[in-house]
Structure 1
Amino acid sequence: MKMLGAILAGGHATRFGSDKALARLRDATLLDHALNSLRPHCAALIVVGRDDAPVATIHDLPVPGLGPLGGIAGALAFAADHGFDAVLTTACDTPDLPDALVTALMAEHVAYAAEAPTVGRWPASLARPLLAHLLNDGPRSIRHWAATAGAMAVLPGVTLANVNTPADLADLAGA
């Protein structure tokens, strides 16, 4: 199974007030933490939705501004075009993925974290159906689309660290 790791980083970070991906948590940026959380599980890594990153970058599909589902669509298209079987996604504001969550995601054909749907395992074969969904102005909720794709929500009740505000970052740094 050739897995692509994709960090979703195309948001505007309005609640955060600055570029969240470049915010520092201890010794590294949130983006670096997210990349490091995927690295052991993936053959290659990309960042979706921004132009600068320490790995290859791609754009959301079909256009920017569709939220995380547009980022997943971009990652799935890249995976399908470059010979990957599936994509493991996370967001730049989710700096750590517990091993138990990754194991649960990998055990399913298509799955997402019940408490954080930006974290998921999506087969590359979903690239065209997701793009069609977005081009037909379908709902942009990951959970809604995941249900239509037959995705399994895994590990309900397991909360992941998520940074939406400077206070969230400060709390996480103090943990």
Structure 2
Amino acid sequence: MARPQQYSSQKAPRVLGLILAAGHSRRFGGDKRLASFGEQTLLAATTAMLAPHVSSITVVLRHGECGEAFGLPADIHTLQAPLSPVGMGTSLATAVSELLVSNDSCHQRCEALALMLGDMPGLRAETLQKLMAHARFDAIVRPCHQGRAGHPVIFGRSFWPALAGLDGDEGARALLKRHALQVVMLDVDDPGILTDIDTPDDLSSLQ
């Protein structure tokens, strides 16, 4: 495996990348986060793709895991999901709760967070650039391709307390419905926002 790249961004601190990677990928037949994508793991490739477009990245892993096991660089901030089995909503809430009280100056200055999953290495750079350009403190920005909404979703900081209050397996879906008037849908020519890698064949089709 190639030596992990150390990521640094010249972008002024504004948008924080939050990657949820604590799931168990049962349909994949193994830990898809460790599956090879080029010379990296799938999780490392997704992280590297997002890194140039955000001020910093936080990756949520399972309890007891460390970033090095997935080839993540040392400068990638990691958090651990709760030990007991939880849904995506609880995992997301735990991460955002920690970000809200973080003493890291970059975390404190960010106006929004880009929420995405750990198996999305095929996003186009122009898509991420467009999303980040529309990020706002008081808006939720979501990409849309051929009428279908996808990821990443950009949550302005004013919505972070609501994210921190989520639980269960629904994720942020209920929050998006509750604040529908604040959701900005951006049309993009990028099927990568809809990528859902559930099987090895799904992964092979991207390489």
**TM-score range for the pair, normalised by the shorter chain length:** 0.7 to 0.9
What is the distance in 1 between the residues matched to 2:114 and 2:156? 9
Deviation at 1:32, TM superposition (A): 1.0
- Picking from 45, 49, 52, the partner of 2:66 is 52
- Pair 1:39–1:141, CA change in 2 (3 A): closer
Q: Partner residue of 2:161?
A: 128
Q: Partner residue of 2:178?
A: 148
Q: Which amino acid aligns with 1:12?
A: H
Q: Partner residue of 2:39?
A: 27
- Pair 1:60–1:128, CA change in 2 (3 A): farther
State which drifts further: 7-16 or 44-53: 44-53
Aligned length: 168
Structure 1 position 89 matched with structure 2 position 89:
no
Q: Partner residue of 2:48?
A: 36
* RMSD of aligned alpha carbons: 2.6
Deviation at 1:108, TM superposition (A): 4.0
Q: Partner residue of 2:92?
A: 72
Q: Which amino acid aligns with 2:55?
A: A
Percent identity, aligned pairs only, is 25
> Rg: which structure is higher?
2
Q: TM-score, structure 2 length as denominator?
A: 0.69
Q: 1:64-96 CA distances to partner (integer Å, 9 max, x unpaired)?
A: 5212x3343334333322313221122111113
What is the distance in 2 between the residues matched to 1:28 and 1:17? 19
Equivalent position SS for 2:159: helix
Q: Which amino acid aligns with 1:14?
A: R
Structure 2: give runs of 5+ residues left out of the alignment: 1-12, 103-107
Equivalent position SS for 2:206: helix
State which drifts further: 10-19 or 87-96: 87-96
What is the distance in 2 between the residues matched to 1:145 and 1:113? 16
Q: Which amino acid aligns with 2:116?
A: T
- Pair 1:133–1:35, CA change in 2 (3 A): closer
- Pair 1:128–1:152, CA change in 2 (3 A): same
CA contact under 8 A between 1:21 and 1:30: conserved in structure 2?
Answer: yes
What is the distance in 2 between the residues matched to 1:21 and 1:116? 23
- Pair 1:145–1:117, CA change in 2 (3 A): farther
Structure 1: give runs of 5+ residues left out of the alignment: none
Deviation at 1:133, TM superposition (A): 4.1
